[in-house]
């Protein structure tokens, strides 16, 4: 599937200066919804093209920042599609017909299990995990997780992932000569695999620290119980 996508996207990358940001939003929306494909084939080349000043603004740093924003927005739109559709159709429909939307029952049940175990934090952490990135929005929608909470953690997780991929592509654009689209994607994926050993644990540790500090703050700022009059 990845190779087919590479060949397809390679034919439209010539339109990056004009339509690049809109294409990033479009393909990351698709990537984040019921039709999953590797986000590496979108964001790593986006970072590479940005480093060469080949996107909308013609300035490497501005193009890279815009690519991150576009990728995050696309990821959120795709996540909203999953969230609202799953909240509308419910689990029985997904169990019966999900296989026609690349969502067989084992994947659905796995996503539900992760969400039940980790709650809101799962929507953040799972945006960084390739096997379940797109699926975690489904149990969030079924359980009608508060939209603000869903948006916060989904946007944060997606933003971090998109930023990492864009930085990898940007670095390749700065430090390497011309590369084919396929070589660029595969080299970037190798970099992701090589550094995922410390990246994901570091983010998990940071999230755990945030939860701990938040609980401490809430505990110290909670209003005192009113005194009982005798």
- Could you give the dihedral angle defined by the CA atoms of residues 180, 185, 188 and 189, in that order, rounded to the nearest 10 degrees? -150
**What is the structure's pLDDT at 229?**
44
Structure confidence at residue 109 as a pLDDT band (50, 70, 90): confident
pLDDT of residue 73: 96
∠89-153-149 over CA atoms, to 5°?
A: 65
211-161-97 Cα angle (round to 5): 90
Query: Quick one: pLDDT at residue 173?
Result: 82
pLDDT at 204: 63
Q: Determine the average pLDDT of the residues in 122-136.
A: 74
pLDDT at 80: 93
Which range, 93-102, 130-139, 145-154, has the best average confidence (pLDDT)?
145-154
Rounded Cα distance between 191 and 166, Å, is: 12
Main-chain dihedrals φ then ψ at residue 11, nearest 5 degrees: -75, -20
Express each pLDDT in 154-211 by its tens digit: 898 899 889 989 998 898 888 776 776 667 677 777 776 666 666 666 666 666 655 5
The per-residue pLDDT of the chain, averaged, comes to 75
> How confident is the model over 7-60, as pLDDT tens digits?
655 666 666 666 778 989 998 998 888 676 778 888 988 898 888 887 888 888
Q: What is the pLDDT of residue 136?
A: 80
Find out whether 48 and 67 touch, Cβ atoms under 8 Å.
no
């Amino acid at each position: 599937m990845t190779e087919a996508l590479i060949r397809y996207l390679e034919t439209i990358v010539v339109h990056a200066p004009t339509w690049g940001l809109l294409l990033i939003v479009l393909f990351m929306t698709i990537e984040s919804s019921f039709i999953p494909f590797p986000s590496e084939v979108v964001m790593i080349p986006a970072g590479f093209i940005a480093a060469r000043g080949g996107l909308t603004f013609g300035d490497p740093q501005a193009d890279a920042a815009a690519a991150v924003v576009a990728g995050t927005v696309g990821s959120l739109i795709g996540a909203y599609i999953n969230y609202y559709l799953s909240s509308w159709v419910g689990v029985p429909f997904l169990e019966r017909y999900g296989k026609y939307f690349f969502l067989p029952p084992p994947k659905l049940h796995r996503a539900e299990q992760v969400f039940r175990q980790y709650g809101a934090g799962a929507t953040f952490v799972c945006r960084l995990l390739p096997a379940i990135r797109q699926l975690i929005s489904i149990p969030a929608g079924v359980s009608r997780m508060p939209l603000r909470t869903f948006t916060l953690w989904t946007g944060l997780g997606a933003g971090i992932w998109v930023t990492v991929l864009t930085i990898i592509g940007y670095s390749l654009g700065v430090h390497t000569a011309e590369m084919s689209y396929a070589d660029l994607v595969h080299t970037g994926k190798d970099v992701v695999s090589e550094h995922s050993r410390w990246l994901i644990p570091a983010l998990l540790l940071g999230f755990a620290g945030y939860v701990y500090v938040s609980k401490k703050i809430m505990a110290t700022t909670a209003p005192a119980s009113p005194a009982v009059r005798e």
